[in-house]
Amino acid sequence: MPYVKYLKCSKCGSKYHLSERPVMCSRKDLGRLDILYDYESISMALSKEDLFKRKFYVWRYFEFMPVSSEGSIVSLNEGGTPLIKAKRLAEALGLRNLYLKDETRNPTGSFKDRCMSVSVSMAIELGFEKAVIASSGNAAASLAAYGARAGLEVVAFVPHFTPLGKLAQLSLYGARVIRVKWVSSEDPTVLMMRTLAEEYGYYPSPSFGPFNPYQLEGSKTIAFEVAEQMNWGIPSQIFIPTGSASLLTGIYRGFRDLNRVGWINGYPMLVAVQSTGNAPFIRAWIEKQDPMNIRPWEKPPATIATGLEDTFPWDGDAGLRALYETNGYGLAVPDELIANAVKLLASYEGILAEPSGAAGLAGLMKAVEERIVDRDESIVVLVTGHGLKDPEFLLKIFPEPPLINPNIEEALAILKNYRCS
C-alpha cells in the first residue's frame, strides 16, 4: 500500500482517502487535493543506500508516490536525466558553478513525462478507461504517449496557436486532438476539459493541480534527482520556467519530502521565471497578492514561450508559498532574452531547447545582470522541453547556410568570415 495518509483540499479543507478514488474536490471549488504522506513510515522503509540498488528513473522513489502497486506503473523510462556542469556557458555568464538539469532527455522530450507517468498509473489503478487534458502541447503529447502505452483513450483540447510539431507528436500517439479558439483571457481548453470530466466521466489529466492531484507528484522527482546527483547537497538557487506554477510547486515538495525524511537539511532558493507577455504569477509575487486570490492575466498570452501560456496560475497559491518559504523570487523576462537563451544553450552546451524550456536560463541571465546571483553560488537551471517541440520557432531564428558551387576556394572565402548566428 502507498504511504499516503490522506488528500486534503487546499481551499475547503475536505479530506479524502485513496479508497474513495478522489481526483477533484467534490465541492468543485477548484481547490487542489494536496497529498500528505506518512514520512515516518517512509523513512523506516527506505534509505538512501536502498536507492543505489534501483534503476535511476522516476519510480526509483516509489515510496514517495501515491500508486499502490508496482503492477499499476505505466512507464516509458522517464526521469533519470543528467545534471550537467555547464562550464562554457558558466564562463560566458561570469559564473563558476552552473548546472543544467536536462529534461529534454525524457521520452517525449519534456519534463511532463514524469507527471503523466504518475497520472496515467493512477488512472489505471482507479479504473478509468478514458482521459482528457487541456494543454498547450507538451503535457498533451506526454499524456497521449502514456495513454497509448496503457491502452487509455485520450482526448486533448489545445489552443489554436499550438505549434505544429506538438500537434503532430500527440496525434501520432493516437490522441483525439481538438484545437480550440482562444480569443479572451480565460483559457477555453480548461472549460472543455472540465465539461468532459464532470459530465461524461473522463479522467482529467492536465499538468496543474486543481483537476488532478497525482501528476504533481511526478515533477517532485526532479528535486530528488538534483539532491542525489549533488551527493545529497542542495544548490543555492534553482531557476524554474513557470506557467501554472505546478512545476515550481513540485520542485518545492520534492525538497520538502527529503527534509521530512531527514535526507537533506534546508532548501535551495527557488526562482520562478515567466515571459513578460504572460506573467500573472510573477505579478502576484511582486504585488504580494493573496495566494488564494491571484488575478488572472487580462488578455490572451503573447509570448514565444507557448508552454508557459497559462493566463491563470492554477497552482499559484502553492507556488507563492514555495517562494516565500525558500526565500525565493520571481522574474519576468522578454521574449528576446528567451530567444537568446535558446541560442546560448545550443551553441555553448549542445542542448536544443524550445523557448519555454529555455526560459529558466533567460531568468538566470536577467538575475546575473541585476546582480541577484553571486559568481560562486551553485546554480541549477531546469531545461524543461526539447527544441524540436517547436520547429517553427527554430526556423525563424536559424541563419540560412550559404550556397556555393563545389569549389574549395568559395568555401574558404566564406569560412574566413563565417558567423554561426
Looking at per-residue pLDDT, the higher value among 2 and 13 belongs to: 13
- Return d(Cα 331, Cα 1) in angstroms, integer: 41
pLDDT digits (tens, 9 = 90+) for 119-132: 999 999 999 999 99
d(CA 111, CA 141): 11
Query: Nearest 5 degrees, angle CA 325-CA 380-CA 276?
Result: 75
| Cβ-Cβ contacts under 8 Å for 42 (sequence gap 6 or more) | 3, 63, 64, 261
Q: Is residue 419 predicted with pLDDT exceeding 70?
A: no
Contact 391, 164 (CB under 8 A): yes
DSSP 153-208: EEEEEEETT--HHHHHHHHHTT-EEEEE---SSS-HHHHHHHHHHHHH--EE--SS
Q: Measuring CA to CA, how many Å separate 333 from each of 32, 237, 320, 356, 396? A: 28, 17, 18, 12, 20
Q: Quick one: 97 exposed, middle or buried, by C-beta within 10 A (0-12, 13-18, 19+)?
A: middle
d(CA 380, CA 243): 19
pLDDT of 401 strictly over 90: no
Q: Are 270 and 233 in contact (CB under 8 A)?
A: no
HEC secondary structure over 89-114: HHHHHCCCEEEEEEHHHCCCCECHHH
pLDDT band at 421 (very low <50, low <70, confident <90, very high): low
Q: Indicate the pLDDT class of residue 165, thresholds 50, 70 and 90.
A: confident
Q: How confident is the model at residue 368 (pLDDT cuts 50, 70, 90)?
A: very high
Is the predicted pLDDT of residue 378 greater than 70, yes or no? yes
Q: What is the pLDDT of residue 355?
A: 96
Cα–Cα distance for residue pair 388/412, rounded to 1 Å: 31
Full DSSP string of 53-77: TS-SSGGGGGGGSS-S-GGG---SS
3-state secondary structure of 273: strand
Q: Does the pTM of the predicted model rise above 0.85?
A: yes
Q: Please compute the mean of the pLDDT values over residues 253-275 and round it to a whole number.
A: 98
Structural contact between residues 132 and 164, judged by C-beta atoms closer than 8 angstroms: no
**Percentage of the chain modeled with pLDDT above 90:** 81
Across the chain, mean pLDDT equals 94
pLDDT value of residue 420: 57
* Identity of the amino acid at 228: E
- Per-residue pLDDT, averaged over 41-68, amounts to 96
Task: Find the Cα–Cα–Cα–Cα dihedral 118, 121, 122, 124, rounded to 10°.
Answer: 160
Cβ atoms of 212 and 206 closer than 8 Å: yes
- When pLDDT is cut at 50, 70 and 90, the band that residue 164 belongs to is confident
Are 219 and 127 in contact by the 8 Å Cβ rule? The answer is no
SS3 state of residue 295? coil
Is pLDDT at 329 greater than 90 in this prediction?
yes
Average pLDDT, stretch 391-409?
87
Residue 282 DSSP code: H
Residues 291-313: pLDDT tens digits? Answer: 999 999 988 889 999 889 888 99
What is the signed CA dihedral for 152, 158, 162, 163, rounded to 10 degrees? 10
| Composition of the chain by helix, strand, coil, percent to 5 | 45, 15, 40
Domain 83-110+215-393: CATH class, spelled out = alpha beta
Quote the cell numbers at residue 298.
487580462
Spell out the long-range contacts of 9-12 with Cβ–Cβ below 8 A and sequence spacing 24 or more: 9/33, 9/34, 10/34, 10/209, 10/317, 10/318, 11/292
Phi, psi of 208 (to 5 degrees): -145, 155
Q: CA 110, CA 116: separation in Å to the nearest integer?
A: 11
CA distances to 1, 31, 59, 73 from 39, in Å: 14, 24, 17, 22
Closest C-alpha among 248, 370, 271 to residue 329: 271
- Cα 149 to the center of its chain, rounded Å: 21
Q: Residues 6 or more apart from 391 whose CB is under 8 A from it?
A: 163, 164, 165
pLDDT at 9: 95
Indicate if the pLDDT at residue 341 is higher than 70.
yes
Give the range among 138-142, 361-365, 379-383 with minimum mean pLDDT: 138-142
